[in-house]
Chain A
Amino acid sequence: MKKVDQMDKFTEYVMHEAGLEKPSKSFVSNIMSKVQEQPKFVAKPAELISATIWWIIGFAFTALCIYLVLNWQDRILSKYSNVFDDYIISMDVVYNGFQGIQFSNTFIWSFLLFGVLLFVQAGIIKNYSNKKLSN
């Protein structure tokens, strides 16, 4: 182990004595002139709504849909259980069944809040566009 350490220190000394090579004086300018010929990178605008927020919105919307579907299904099943039991399903019955459905408070509030969410997003987008245009 001592021999390896000695070898390590010796090589370090030798390598630093050798130093680094120096390129020509025009080295950097040559590279930069070639680089200038390449297409420029274009800055990408920052995302208005991050991926995480989109996931949260998606999850909340899906949860809402599932809740509503289950809620409706329960109502339809309880109201027309005899129809499903006898396997006599006609378009008229389904149509009439929907006519009897009343929207619950939960649904109405959810719908309203979703509308507010869309409205806020529209506001953010408008604000962002205004800033972009004024720059």
Chain B
Amino acid sequence: MNQTDAYYIERILKGDVNAYTSLVEKYQHMVYTLAMRMLKSKEKAEEVSQDAFVKAYTNLDSFQGKAKFSTWLYKIVYFGCLDELKKTKRSFNPEDIEKVPNIELDNTKSGLERLEDADRSQLIKDAIAKLNEDEQVILTLFYFEEQSLKELSQILDMTPNNVKVKLFRARKKMAELLKNVIEPNTLNAI
């Protein structure tokens, strides 16, 4: 039976440690995906996302329920990844997105659809990997979790307007990146 996050949190706070399994199972894919997209390493992503889950557990009594549990958890993951990036001294790589020209999206989409499923998925993943960390996180949360701009701003510690601008830029950048790779790939596939 599907229960709300609040139900599991209440049980955990009453001493039922195993109730946390349900929350881990529910959010494992999204947490791991966020870490993977930011860190671009399976081992580090796994380590950081596991640490994030443990940190969320140990601080669960300070979770006040003002925001959604997922928002709070993703914030822990996001900042955990930033700390990891600082350790490895990798920095953000924002590109000058204002130079992105207009793109015929229908052509790019039909080009993608002509590819095999596995090829298409890999190609898109490669394109996503070329976005900067913030953009990847924003796109992933916005389209998978349907997080609002306000929730995204809480996770990323930015203003909702800033998130909106970044989201717009990320979409444009993604379209441009895919347009650049889809044409030669589509030609090879036909």
Q: Chain A: residues with CB nearer than 8 A to chain B?
A: 3-4, 6-8, 10-24, 27-28, 30-32, 34-36, 38, 40-43
* A38 to B50 alpha-carbon distance, docked (Å): 14
Closest CB-CB distance, B130 to chain A, in whole Å? 12
Task: Kindly identify, within residues 34 to 58 of chain B, every residue whose CB is under 8 Å from any CB belonging to chain A.
Answer: 36-37, 45-46, 49-50, 53-54, 57-58
A10, B32: Cβ atoms closer than 8 Å: no
A7, B105: Cβ atoms closer than 8 Å: yes
* A105 to B60 alpha-carbon distance, docked (Å): 54
Q: B175: which A residues are within 8 A, CB to CB?
A: 7, 10-11
Majority-rule SS of A interface residues:
helix
Q: Does B159 touch A at the CB level, under 8 Å? A: no
Q: A15-B140, A17-B120 are in contact. Are A22 and B172 (CB under 8 A)?
A: no
* A36 to B20 alpha-carbon distance, docked (Å): 10
A23, B29: Cβ atoms closer than 8 Å: yes
Q: B25: which A residues are within 8 A, CB to CB?
A: 28
B105, A27: Cβ atoms closer than 8 Å: no
Majority-rule SS of B interface residues:
helix
B50, A30: Cβ atoms closer than 8 Å: yes
* A3 to B49 alpha-carbon distance, docked (Å): 36
A15, B144: Cβ atoms closer than 8 Å: yes
Q: Does B81 touch A at the CB level, under 8 Å? A: no
* A40 to B58 alpha-carbon distance, docked (Å): 9
B125, A18: Cβ atoms closer than 8 Å: yes
Q: A24: which B residues are within 8 A, CB to CB?
A: 46
Q: Which of B28, B108, B171 contacts A27 (CB 8 A)?
A: B28
Which of A13, A27, A31: most chain B Cβ within 10 A?
A: A31
* A4 to B168 alpha-carbon distance, docked (Å): 8
Q: A35: which B residues are within 8 A, CB to CB?
A: 17, 20, 53-54, 57
- Which of B7-15, B69-77, B91-99 contacts its partner? B7-15
* A22 to B45 alpha-carbon distance, docked (Å): 11
A18, B105: Cβ atoms closer than 8 Å: no
Q: B168: which A residues are within 8 A, CB to CB?
A: 4
Q: A31: which B residues are within 8 A, CB to CB?
A: 24, 50, 53-54
